[in-house]
Structure 1
Amino acid sequence: MINEPTELDPAGLEPIELAPALLERMAAVRAAALRTLESGDPVYGVNTGMGNLSKVRLSDAEQRVHQRNLLLGRAVGGPPWLSPEESRAVLIGRLKTFLTGDSAVSVGLIQQLVALINSGYTPAIPAEGAGSAGEIIPLAHAAGPLVGIGWLLVPPFPADSGSTTSTGSMAAGDASPADDAGELRSAAGLLPAFELGPKEGIALLAGTPGAAGRAALAVAKVWWVADRLTAVAAGAIAVVGANRDPYEPAAARGDDVLASEFARLRRLAGPEPEPRSLQAPVSFRVAGHVNAHLRRTAQQLDDAVDRAFKGVSDSPAYLDGDFVGTAGFHGIDLAAYCDHVTTALAHAAEVSTARLHRLLDPNATGLTAQLAREPGPQAGLVAVHKRAVATTHQLRRLTLPTAISTAETSNGQEDVQTFSWEAVGNLAEAIRLTREIVACELLAVRQAFALSGRAIPPGLQDLIQAVDDVVPPIDADRPFGEDLTRLLTNVL
């Protein structure tokens, strides 16, 4: 049950319920906002046009259809669609902002939104093409199903459920936008028809709830990836017998995050054996600094998400009894920190790839070349490293800052953009690619332990057992891509 608008779980699947006291508060705000509108003063997007047409006053008849029309004319996106998980995060992000009261929407619309979230369906929201100040295009797709417009991603149904697919035959005029990802069905008729009232259409399109919701989901995944990066790095440190001096507590002076990371590495890597050399390769020695930086950036993004949901993002927002035009749609805070985390992931992936290369080198490990049982007749894991190199190169291309390009739209009314929607999309892709690289290093760490005969440290035994549960022992060359897929599906 959501009692206050500070609670958000974009990845959760439990039905959402709203506390009666919260709904009463929303109803009071709505009643006050409607009284304010009775004055007839111009309110952007309510009794005026939008963007460069905000100078146009709307008649009473035009206002009655205007809010729904706002959703129709801006749903210009298409596939690829967001995943159901991300689409749900967008809806919960929208709900989160509504519960501040700034949007002054009706309890009916809030309940319609909750019903959509709880239905198991998610809107078909374009992953790309949000070229506007804010998120008007993707939000038009997200909000359309609330009033019977647009398309929904279909959850699993019984065979006789009547669901339609993007490739199946459909009646003329009811064609689904093509998409390779799965099934779509028309939103018409899913929920009882809801008629938008004053201010509710523009409220559905306002702010950056999509980037905030998706970023909240991404942060949870980054914490998971950071933990796996730490564990795999500790495994590499342990299996090569790296000198542990770089992870001494005294070397983290003045940096609590780094000190915590050093402690994790020491605990997971286990007791230090006689080191193989005075200094391990740099990719081993900097593991603590690299992963600590990733954790810092994740926390900064988490803080930015919190600011996005606590701050004023609606425009016009209903504040202190009046409608106020704001710039809360300018998602520079989210865009900048999404970019920061993407860059931190790219660096962590590069370091992981470098460690993987060293794990294949007998000079670093004292093991057989390329971790092959029989070097020469067998190639070992050399191609696994090549895949990591290609993936790292792909990841680097995501690190271009998203907010450095401005473009004018709406005849110059919107002359600056941050592309926060694209920034969080880049982050989602960076997470996916980093997981691939971690899988490559993890496979090499497991093989190195198998070849070395070294005891697996207690802190890593659960992780290595999880690997062994899905990856058979490597005694000869085989299609290692299948092993990596199993690791990504079941372990990482």
Structure 2
Amino acid sequence: MKLDPTSVSLEQLRLLWIGTDARLDDASMQRVATAAASVDRIVAGGETVYGVNTGFGLLANTRIPDERLAELQTNLILSHSAGLGEPLPRHVTRLMILLKLLGLGRGHSGVRPIVIEALHALLDKDAMPVIPSQGSVGASGDLAPLAHMTAALMGHGSIDVTGIAMPAEEALQKLGMAPLELGPKEGLALINGTQASTAIALDALFLGERVFAAALAAGALSVDALKGSSKPFDPRISELRGQPGQIRVAAILHALLDGSEILASHKSGCPKVQDPYSFRCQPQVMGAALDLLQNAARTLTIEAGAVTDNPILFPDEDVAISGGNFHAQPVAFAADTIAMALCEVGSLSERRTSVLVDPKMSGLPPFLTEDSGANSGLMIPQVTAAALVSENKSLAFPASVDSIPTSAGQEDHVSMAPIAGRKAVQIARNAAGVIAVELIAAAQGIDFHAPLKTSAKLQKIHAKVRSVTPRFGSDRYWADDMAALQQLVLGGVSVGDGFALS
């Protein structure tokens, strides 16, 4: 795929997330060369420009002699390679590099084309710098993560080559790459920016997209397992409210249940008046969550192609202006809203499971096992779902409302965007586990209504669940079934309409 930083779409970002090969287009490379030439002219003219020939942060007023500019950039990278914690997943690191290429490709950063080619080479050779996940506060750029990325190109730290981590110097030799020597401003251009935060947040978003789709499938299956009503999904109800997410969710649920023999079997003479909120209010709750995810997607799509380093170069005028585009507050808010939305998606799912395993609420056998007492059925899987939901509630507290001054007070307000993103990813994985339990419960509930069948669309989802976890008549070891279904959710469970955020 050719990348045009001036025209980035969510679909392109989704393809990059799953591993599609990509590189900057020719127009971007021309802009990069033009900006690099502008830096050369600024240096030759003797003007004092932050990040080009000055110190950094509180040391911005210290002028650096021309003969020490290369040393300045090298020291910048080494001093900022100060992360801790588990490495970022390889696919997140890969996405981060691609996002850095998009930002540099706008032609306002001043790096030479050789820097772009070095980043391209890492992607082409499936060589991912080992980047600690902790250490960025999401302002003045994701300094530590991006410094580790850059240090690896210079022969410092570690590089994971096709799944095998080794010292960066050794890896570069193995790959036939010379250590990168940085020119004026290049170090700052590489480590300033929101690319680590944005990559993590996009990881949460795309995982969340899959979790959301699976929750729709599980929710519809649970309605039929409960012998619930599809009337709350009548489009006329949602159209009167007008919320776009609610309208879309109601339409999907209505379509999923269409043609169900189970649903038709109790349309007349059913004594129930209303289903619990976790069943009939799915359009309202899930729709609101969908609207949050859509808003986050818009923010992150814009950020993916943004110029977020500092200072920003305007090559036509040979001017570099210091600003604050590196502040990741938009990304932090987006990640936190993803976290809150997915927390509620999981919470609603667990409530439906709780109803299904409770014979007083569902009319089904206790804990969905016919031989209860001697068998506990889904008693403890529901407890696990409850534990995951409770954990998500703690994780969902927004990181974006926190700040702590850094760099001797020069950077006195920060976004905490990478922390928000990492929490959102964990919430997505936890929610996938919650939905896995609901899918087991709902499938078992559907089985109890045989020979009546659910809808054709839900039969496909039921069959997919049963391909992983067979119907149970007595207790068995649950952890493997639950983990396999959790991975199925994270891998994408179709709801029949090609659901995707837009």
Same fold, judged at TM 0.5 (above) = yes
Determine the C-alpha separation between the residues in 2 that align with 1:348 and 1:270: 23
Aligned to 2:313, the other structure's residue is in SS state strand
Range with bigger deviation, 134-143 or 197-206 = 134-143
Determine the C-alpha separation between the residues in 2 that align with 1:410 and 1:256: 44
Shift of the 221–143 alpha-carbon distance from structure 1 to 2, 3 Å rule, reads same
Determine the C-alpha separation between the residues in 2 that align with 1:216 and 1:30: 30
Aligned counterpart for 2:275 among listed residues 260, 277, 280: 280
Partner of 2:416: 419
Aligned to 2:395, the other structure's residue is in SS state coil
- Which letter maps to 1:458? A
Determine the C-alpha separation between the residues in 1 that align with 2:279 and 2:354: 11
Q: CA deviation at 1:186?
A: 5.5
Partner of 2:250: 262
Aligned to 1:152, the other structure's residue is in SS state strand
Determine the C-alpha separation between the residues in 1 that align with 2:344 and 2:3: 40
- Which letter maps to 1:260? R
- Which letter maps to 1:197? G
Aligned counterpart for 1:123 among listed residues 118, 129, 132: 129
Range with bigger deviation, 2-11 or 373-382 = 2-11
Alignment of 1:72-221 (within 5 A): 72-131=78-137, 133=139, 134-156=141-163, 187-189=171-173, 190=175, 191-221=177-207
- Which letter maps to 2:88? L
Determine the C-alpha separation between the residues in 1 that align with 2:391 and 2:244: 32
Q: CA deviation at 1:156?
A: 4.2
CA contact (8 A) 1:388 1:436 kept: yes
Determine the C-alpha separation between the residues in 1 that align with 2:26 and 2:331: 32
Determine the C-alpha separation between the residues in 1 that align with 2:331 and 2:3: 25
Determine the C-alpha separation between the residues in 1 that align with 2:114 and 2:169: 24
Aligned counterpart for 1:401 among listed residues 387, 398, 403: 398
Shift of the 108–270 alpha-carbon distance from structure 1 to 2, 3 Å rule, reads same
Aligned counterpart for 1:305 among listed residues 300, 308, 320: 300
- Which letter maps to 2:156? I
Shift of the 3–394 alpha-carbon distance from structure 1 to 2, 3 Å rule, reads closer
CA contact (8 A) 2:296 2:334 kept: yes
Shift of the 361–388 alpha-carbon distance from structure 1 to 2, 3 Å rule, reads same
Range with bigger deviation, 343-352 or 453-462 = 453-462
CA contact (8 A) 2:204 2:335 kept: no
CA contact (8 A) 1:132 1:409 kept: no
Q: CA deviation at 1:226?
A: 1.1
Aligned counterpart for 2:23 among listed residues 17, 22, 33: 17
Q: Which runs of 4+ in 1 moved over 4 A?
A: 184-188
CA contact (8 A) 1:147 1:195 kept: yes
Determine the C-alpha separation between the residues in 2 that align with 1:386 and 1:263: 31
Q: CA deviation at 1:332?
A: 0.9
Shift of the 78–66 alpha-carbon distance from structure 1 to 2, 3 Å rule, reads same
Q: 2:32 aligned with 1:37, yes or no?
A: no
Partner of 1:57: 63
- Structure 1 unaligned runs (5+)? 158-162, 165-173, 175-183
- Which letter maps to 2:473? D
Determine the C-alpha separation between the residues in 2 that align with 1:491 and 1:138: 29
CA contact (8 A) 1:367 1:452 kept: no
Partner of 2:2: 2
Aligned counterpart for 2:209 among listed residues 182, 201, 223: 223
Partner of 2:219: 233
- Between 1 and 2, higher relative CO (CA 8 Å, sep ≥ 6) is seen in 2
Aligned to 2:71, the other structure's residue is in SS state helix
CA contact (8 A) 1:360 1:370 kept: yes
Determine the C-alpha separation between the residues in 2 that align with 1:111 and 1:428: 31
Partner of 1:465: 463
Range with bigger deviation, 324-333 or 191-200 = 191-200
Q: CA deviation at 1:323?
A: 0.3
Q: CA deviation at 1:232?
A: 0.5
Determine the C-alpha separation between the residues in 2 that align with 1:186 and 1:487: 40
Q: 2:364 aligned with 1:361, yes or no?
A: no
Partner of 1:179: none
Aligned to 1:96, the other structure's residue is in SS state helix
Aligned to 1:433, the other structure's residue is in SS state helix
Q: CA deviation at 1:483?
A: 0.7
CA contact (8 A) 1:218 1:427 kept: yes
For residues 359-404 of structure 1, give each alpha carbon's deviation from its aligned partner in whole angstroms, at most 9, with x where no partner exists: 0112332211110120111111010100001111111111111122
CA contact (8 A) 1:10 1:213 kept: no
Partner of 1:449: 446
CA contact (8 A) 2:99 2:305 kept: no
For residues 213-235 of structure 1, give each alpha carbon's deviation from its aligned partner in whole angstroms, at most 9, with x where no partner exists: 22233322222111111110000
- Which letter maps to 2:244? D
For residues 128-152 of structure 1, give each alpha carbon's deviation from its aligned partner in whole angstroms, at most 9, with x where no partner exists: 2214623111111122222222112
CA contact (8 A) 1:150 1:187 kept: no
Q: 2:319 aligned with 1:351, yes or no?
A: no
Determine the C-alpha separation between the residues in 1 that align with 2:458 and 2:55: 61
Aligned counterpart for 1:245 among listed residues 231, 241, 253: 231
Q: CA deviation at 1:481?
A: 1.0
Q: CA deviation at 1:67?
A: 1.1
Q: CA deviation at 1:406?
A: 2.1
Range with bigger deviation, 462-471 or 379-388 = 462-471
- Which letter maps to 1:379? S
For residues 276-296 of structure 1, give each alpha carbon's deviation from its aligned partner in whole angstroms, at most 9, with x where no partner exists: 511011111111122212221
CA contact (8 A) 2:204 2:338 kept: no
For residues 412-456 of structure 1, give each alpha carbon's deviation from its aligned partner in whole angstroms, at most 9, with x where no partner exists: 111111111111111111111110101010110111112222412
Determine the C-alpha separation between the residues in 2 that align with 1:391 and 1:355: 15
Range with bigger deviation, 436-445 or 357-366 = 357-366
CA contact (8 A) 1:10 1:217 kept: no
CA contact (8 A) 1:332 1:420 kept: yes
TM-score normalised by structure 2 residue count: 0.89
Shift of the 442–348 alpha-carbon distance from structure 1 to 2, 3 Å rule, reads same
Range with bigger deviation, 385-394 or 282-291 = 282-291
Determine the C-alpha separation between the residues in 2 that align with 1:147 and 1:98: 18
- Which letter maps to 2:430? L
- Which letter maps to 2:313? Y
Aligned to 1:103, the other structure's residue is in SS state coil
Aligned counterpart for 2:475 among listed residues 450, 474, 477: 477
